[in-house]
Amino acid sequence: MATAKELSDFLEAVERRAFKQTAYAVRDDHAALDIVQDAMMKLATKYADKPLAELPMLFQRILQNTMRDYWRRQKVRNLWTTLLSSFGGSAEGGDERDPLETIDVEDDSDEPHAQLERSQTIKLIELAIQKLPARQREAFVLRYWEEMDVAETAKIMGCSDGSVKTHCSRAVHSLATELKKQGLDKLGITGSIAMSKSLKS
């Protein structure tokens, strides 16, 4: 059973990642904060009697379920909005735009070139992650960011190990394709990875 101090330390360690992951999924920072808070409260209320070692997996499971609840509510809300807006006039038709084309390129000449390049790369990566199908993003985040094994990820996602591997592989491939399309050399990714490889070797 986790004490208040242990729970506090655990949440402090995961809250930022949880927020970013949720923000990528729901694309709304305020909603993401609400979802993370809900997940924290549910963990504290319903699973306080569980041992500390089980908290990471439980928290991820709660977080994913809370996101799904949010999507369900959004779906119902969107349905009504669409129905009501169909009486009020036509939409602008901006849904088909590629979000990668809408990035504001910061043109701040005072900022160092590397920092600018890095921030642009992060923006591109974040958009590429947001563009991933929900299940692929979930699998990618849990496997690579939360460093969970296939079985744990499968348990959280409620699917088989094979499905997790497929989702992960497709997610990484989609990300790679998207980033290669933008030009890895241009983004400085190739150079950075090559440098880190040479440092490791």
Partner 1 sequence: MLNTHENHTNRMTAEFEDSVSDMNQPTDAELAHYVIDLLDDNAQHLTAVTAKRLSVARSLAVSQLASQQGLNHSGHVLARFGDQIERHRIMSTAIAVGAMLLAFYAAQHFGFNSNLEEGDAFLLASDLPPEAYADKGFDTWLVSKND
Residue 116 touching partner 1 (CB under 8 A): no
CB of 38 to partner 1, least distance (A): 9
Three-class SS state of 32: helix
CB of 64 to partner 1, least distance (A): 17
User: Cβ closer to partner 1: 139 or 157?
Assistant: 139
Q: Look up tokens 């992951």; give the residue.
A: 21
User: Cβ closer to partner 1: 79 or 193?
Assistant: 193
Between the alpha carbon of residue 137 and those of residues 124, 130, 140, 158, 175, the distances in Å are 15, 8, 5, 15, 10
Residue 16 touching partner 1 (CB under 8 A): yes
Q: Which stretch binds partner 1 (CB under 8 A): 2-10, 50-58, 65-73, 77-85?
A: 2-10
Burial 136-156 (b: 16+ CB within 10 A, else e): bbbbbbbbeebebebebbbbb
Among 90, 197, 198, 201, binds partner 1 (CB under 8 A): 197
Among 8, 85, 86, 160, binds partner 1 (CB under 8 A): 8
For residue 64, which of 156, 140, 168 has the smallest C-alpha distance? 156
Token reading at 67: 């996101």
Residue 37 touching partner 1 (CB under 8 A): yes
Residue 201 touching partner 1 (CB under 8 A): no
For residue 14, which of 53, 48, 60, 45 has the smallest C-alpha distance? 60
Q: 178 Cβ partners below 8 Å, 6+ apart?
A: 100, 124, 128, 131
Binding mask 133-162 for partner 1 (x = CB under 8 A): -------x---xx-----------------
Residue 196 touching partner 1 (CB under 8 A): yes
Contact 157, 64 (CB under 8 A): yes
The residues that touch partner 1, with contacts defined as CB under 8 A, are: 2, 4, 7-8, 11-12, 15-17, 19-20, 29, 33, 36-37, 40-41, 43-45, 48, 118, 121-122, 125-126, 129, 140, 144-145, 169, 172-173, 175-176, 179, 184, 189-190, 192-194, 196-197
